[in-house]
Structure 1
Amino acid sequence: MEAYPRRIMGVETEFGVTAYRDGRTVLTPEEVARYLFRPVVQQHRSSNIFTKNASRLYLDVGSHPEFATAECDSVSQLLAYDKSGEYLYNQLAEQAVAALSADRIDADVFLFKNNVDSMGNSYGTHENYLISRELVLKSFGKQLLPFLVTRQLICGAGMIKKGEFVISQRADQVWEGVSSATTRTRPIINTRDEPHGDSHRFRRMHVIVGDSNMSEPTFALKIGSTLLVIEMLEAGFPLPDVELDNPIIHIRPIASDPTGQTEMVLKDGGTTTALEIQQATLDAAKQWLEVRPDEGTPSEEMARIVDLWQRTLDAIASQDFSGVDQEIDWVIKRKLLTQFKDRLGVEWGHPKLKQIDLTYHDINRNRGLFYLLERKGLAKRWITDADIEAAAATPPQTTRAALRGRFLDTVQEAGADYNVDWVHLKVNRPEPQTVELLDPFVTADARVDDLIAYVQEHAGRD
């Protein structure tokens, strides 16, 4: 079996969008989206484009702005490109406010990186991991399920729901373990076969159970812990022999239990807890680190992830969260909301708390509550602003995205008629020319060089 210690990964994030004036909504999401995407449509004649950094920016169903990162091969790199989506959408939001003002509409545009709106509608953040085609995704997925069902303990974003604080926003929206559905009965793992590469070699594992994260360390833990489990499964490394009788029925009780003591029924009739599953998986990951090939995400960074993983589980076990209350999203948010709750003398369902809950996810760095905490030193970093700004301007240089970025620079400078997707680079005139890039690991390709030369040769011609 082909193994890929260097893993291609990507994240797709949908954002909630609205426009407020004096605390009330002044435009529908559809109207806000039109203003938001006006510069994109003017420049590209489409609301579905690939950006300068080789990522995809588009308007999804339900008027949700979405950002799909370029292909990345390490946790920190993926984090930088995920945050670059916030950076790029912030720029569009600023332009939208100016356009609204020109139309004599006084309103602020808000983009929220969360997963549930005020009406209870859910929108997602999807993780993609390249795996070997030789793996049977359904059985591979079932082995992952105990970890993914309990993963919310370490990387949930938290929210107020029906008068209580729960640790995950997506847990209430997922109804199956492994299936091809994405909306009506959302699964933890989606099996739709879209490898975006050589289908004889690769599969793309599509995980749709996770929360959107504001905290950089939480994002790193979410991706890094999952990556370690995938690596172990693909390498045949021993993992805890835990087969749950019905994994999905536990996902909502776990979200309501920050102690991690939710009892889970095993296939053999025994029981375990969510915290025990996470600790047993982490113990295996510690052993894997001792023999893991140091490729892709450096083992030094994986060691940081394992350290945060252990500290988070220790905090849950002891219920002393002081060691992670600046790193784990749901812990940061619960601490903040509890302070306001106690100060106001109100219950969890109070409208003021719900407003604070939402404002935590505002991606505007000058206004959003999470970024206020970050500026005050109450939310720790994993990468730097310079990393994010660089990611917004340039594609990853260690994956196929570098080729897409070179092509985009060339055709846009030349004013050429072109099409691009994850796999194809196409010039439409004077004669159609297409290059298919089936290996996401490749960063140099003579065919792309020839295609770029063809564009430059015919630049400015009819």
Structure 2
Amino acid sequence: MERRVVGVETEFGLAHQGRGRRGLPPDEAARYLFRPVVDWGRSSNVFIPNGSRLYLDVGSHPEYATAECDDLLDLIASDRAGELIMHDLALRAQEAMAADGLPGSVYLLKNNIDSQGNSYGSHENYLIPRTTHFRRLSTVLLPFLVTRQIIAGAGRIVPPTEDQEAHFAFSQRADHMWEGISSATTRSRPIINTRDEPHADAAVHRRLHVIVGDSSMSETTQLLRFGSTDLVLRMIESGAPLGDHELENPISAIRHISHDVTGRARVRTREGRQVTAVEIQQNLFDRARSFVARHGAHHDRVGEVLELWGRAVEAVASGDHSLIDREIDWAIKRRLIDEVAGRAGLGLGDARLDQIDFAYHDIHPDRGLFHLLVRRGRAVRLLDEARLRRAITDPPATTRAAVRGRFLSAARAHGAGHTVDWVHHKLVDRPLEAVMVKDPFAAEDPRVDTLLGRLRGELRELDDAEREAQPGPLALSERYVATSPVPPPEPPLI
């Protein structure tokens, strides 16, 4: 089967807590956070040597978009590298604030909703063939995405209202979706965004932009989130029969499903049938398993994806969440919250449990509760430390990101003005020689190598004094390598 390029864009929640005084508002904190980025790239929207993009989005949300990846572990590693890069920026921001007489702590949360109820996203991008029939795609994919929260949601405590008590829900993002399919993103958030920007040859490729996903702390949740979606897309593209689960009202359904962690909530199909999220996921899982049995696995993690998918559906159907409470975010979090609530005699509406909910998503490796659970063996990791560290500075070796990374590193090492985006590579002083790399799978491009070769040749002709004036290669700190302080003793969970 053909390879597929996938990427994920993650927006982070940002807060500053002052010491002895009120913290800075998010826009001011964001300016401190991105000061090293602007110093490095003369912009708050830059591509960095690992092939990824780092920028400030609407609402002062720091955002990190992974490089193009055609391997699930590369994708997870690139996304996790973004957490470490953001953490490094947070440490620098704290130091700069303290130097300006504003001591305190910067918090970056990899979640999807703040204490005021504002939502921010984790958007997935899947490269699909231009020949894929969009009506068939949406008919099958929408029910899958509406119900995917039961196997890959981040979980949240829903605060009490006049109509309902505080309760636990599968998803942070579900209540903030307003349309099934739309070209909008922030004005009226759809589950699937139709904006057609493939960042590739538009005659061959289309970009599927999925907005509905919850940000994942767990690497195994990410494996299932991206891996199951890829399998459903492959079945759609192959024309395999997938049954009819088209929903009468996807937005009503996604919210109804999210708020019933028994998995028994029934939603209505266009045909008038009443179905549950478990039934839809079980049907698609069974078809995916049969599809792989017929056509073979297209990558070496397919078996793990299927095993975890089946176990996650069983956990919801049976109510035995211990089947997945070390691997799927919502179940890991719910176990933690239930234990803390039971030990302290707290109800779900207690503000101390809200703090647990938010602290789960704190990306600080020594302070965040998810990372504490990993150290205690309560959450599973897939990546070893060496692979994660490489992802901070090195782009994936099998996609166009490798070309972008080499171009960026070489241009900066030689002090050459340059601009890049997902497709274009340009040296400022020779704009007519700009190179477009439209093939996302092109890990090599002779035109870029030739352009950089000319640059190196010209620099060799400089005299020693001129060469001394050229900036040297980037120090590791300038490539956003996260610091690794000695961790303090592990704090109690409450």
The interval holding the TM-score normalised by the smaller chain is: over 0.9
Q: Does 1:34 align with 2:31?
A: yes
Alpha-carbon distance in structure 2 between the residues aligned to 1:24 and 1:308:
47
- Structure 1: segments with no counterpart, 5+ residues: none
Q: How does 1:95-110 map to 2 (within 5 A)?
A: 95-110=92-107
Task: State the shift of 1:345 in Å.
Answer: 1.9
Task: State the shift of 1:414 in Å.
Answer: 0.9
Residue 232 (structure 1) aligns with: 235
CA distances 1:407-436 after superposition (whole Å, capped 9, x unpaired):
001100011111100000011115542000
Alpha-carbon distance in structure 2 between the residues aligned to 1:111 and 1:425:
32
Give, as a single letter, the amino acid of the residue that structure 1 aligns with 2:334: R
Task: State the shift of 1:240 in Å.
Answer: 2.5
Task: State the shift of 1:184 in Å.
Answer: 2.1
Q: Does 1:69 align with 2:66?
A: yes
Structure 1 residues 331 and 431, CA, compared in 2 at 3 Å: closer, same or farther?
A: closer
Q: How does 1:113-124 map to 2 (within 5 A)?
A: 113-124=110-121
Q: Does 1:289 align with 2:258?
A: no
Asked whether the 8 Å contact 1:410–1:455 carries over to 2, the reply is no
Alpha-carbon distance in structure 1 between the residues aligned to 2:319 and 2:38:
50
Alpha-carbon distance in structure 2 between the residues aligned to 1:347 and 1:431:
63
Q: How does 1:306-455 map to 2 (within 5 A)?
A: 306-430=306-430, 432-455=432-455
SS at match of 1:93: helix
Give, as a single letter, the amino acid of the residue that structure 2 aligns with 1:51: I
Residue 246 (structure 1) aligns with: 249
Asked whether the 8 Å contact 1:5–1:293 carries over to 2, the reply is no
Residue 490 (structure 2) aligns with: none
Deviates most, 405-414 or 286-295: 286-295
Q: Does 1:86 align with 2:89?
A: no
Structure 1 residues 269 and 437, CA, compared in 2 at 3 Å: closer, same or farther?
A: same
Residue 267 (structure 1) aligns with: 270
SS at match of 2:303: helix
Task: State the shift of 1:293 in Å.
Answer: 5.1
* Root-mean-square deviation (Å): 1.6
Asked whether the 8 Å contact 2:18–2:24 carries over to 1, the reply is no
Give, as a single letter, the amino acid of the residue that structure 2 aligns with 1:366: D
Deviates most, 359-368 or 313-322: 313-322
Number of residue pairs aligned between Structure 1 and Structure 2: 456
Asked whether the 8 Å contact 1:19–1:109 carries over to 2, the reply is yes
Structure 1 residues 23 and 213, CA, compared in 2 at 3 Å: closer, same or farther?
A: farther
Asked whether the 8 Å contact 2:18–2:102 carries over to 1, the reply is no
Residue 126 (structure 1) aligns with: 123
Asked whether the 8 Å contact 1:142–1:178 carries over to 2, the reply is no
Residue 483 (structure 2) aligns with: none
Asked whether the 8 Å contact 1:221–1:309 carries over to 2, the reply is yes
Alpha-carbon distance in structure 2 between the residues aligned to 1:458 and 1:160:
60
Q: Does 1:303 align with 2:303?
A: yes
SS at match of 1:458: helix
Asked whether the 8 Å contact 1:138–1:191 carries over to 2, the reply is no
CA distances 1:60-86 after superposition (whole Å, capped 9, x unpaired):
111100000000002111000010000
Asked whether the 8 Å contact 1:399–1:440 carries over to 2, the reply is yes
Give, as a single letter, the amino acid of the residue that structure 1 aligns with 2:257: I
Alpha-carbon distance in structure 2 between the residues aligned to 1:24 and 1:266:
54
Residue 491 (structure 2) aligns with: none
Deviates most, 403-412 or 263-272: 263-272
CA distances 1:339-394 after superposition (whole Å, capped 9, x unpaired):
12122222212110101100000001011010000000000112222221111110
SS at match of 2:243: coil
Q: Does 1:258 align with 2:255?
A: no
Structure 1 residues 362 and 431, CA, compared in 2 at 3 Å: closer, same or farther?
A: closer
Asked whether the 8 Å contact 1:216–1:380 carries over to 2, the reply is yes
Structure 1 residues 49 and 319, CA, compared in 2 at 3 Å: closer, same or farther?
A: same
Task: State the shift of 1:273 in Å.
Answer: 1.2
Task: State the shift of 1:246 in Å.
Answer: 2.2
Asked whether the 8 Å contact 1:5–1:231 carries over to 2, the reply is no
Task: State the shift of 1:26 in Å.
Answer: 0.9
Residue 174 (structure 2) aligns with: 171
Alpha-carbon distance in structure 2 between the residues aligned to 1:143 and 1:23:
54
Q: Does 1:211 align with 2:208?
A: no
SS at match of 2:323: coil
Residue 14 (structure 2) aligns with: 17
Task: State the shift of 1:120 in Å.
Answer: 0.6
SS at match of 2:10: strand
SS at match of 1:188: strand
Deviates most, 331-340 or 266-275: 266-275
Task: State the shift of 1:248 in Å.
Answer: 2.2
Asked whether the 8 Å contact 2:136–2:236 carries over to 1, the reply is no
Asked whether the 8 Å contact 1:191–1:205 carries over to 2, the reply is yes
Deviates most, 176-185 or 359-368: 176-185
Asked whether the 8 Å contact 2:49–2:404 carries over to 1, the reply is no
Q: Does 1:143 align with 2:140?
A: yes
SS at match of 1:121: coil
SS at match of 2:316: helix
Residue 57 (structure 2) aligns with: 60
TM-score scaled by length of structure 1:
0.96
Give, as a single letter, the amino acid of the residue that structure 1 aligns with 2:110: K
Asked whether the 8 Å contact 2:256–2:265 carries over to 1, the reply is yes
Q: How does 1:187-206 map to 2 (within 5 A)?
A: 187-206=190-209
Alpha-carbon distance in structure 2 between the residues aligned to 1:41 and 1:436:
25
SS at match of 1:105: coil
SS at match of 1:252: helix
Task: State the shift of 1:137 in Å.
Answer: 2.7
Give, as a single letter, the amino acid of the residue that structure 1 aligns with 2:243: P
Give, as a single letter, the amino acid of the residue that structure 2 aligns with 1:194: E
SS at match of 1:322: helix
Asked whether the 8 Å contact 1:137–1:191 carries over to 2, the reply is no
Give, as a single letter, the amino acid of the residue that structure 2 aligns with 1:323: L
Structure 1 residues 24 and 247, CA, compared in 2 at 3 Å: closer, same or farther?
A: farther
SS at match of 1:356: helix
Alpha-carbon distance in structure 2 between the residues aligned to 1:24 and 1:396:
44
Deviates most, 22-31 or 178-187: 22-31
CA distances 1:49-70 after superposition (whole Å, capped 9, x unpaired):
1111010001111110000000
Asked whether the 8 Å contact 1:150–1:274 carries over to 2, the reply is yes
Deviates most, 432-441 or 241-250: 241-250
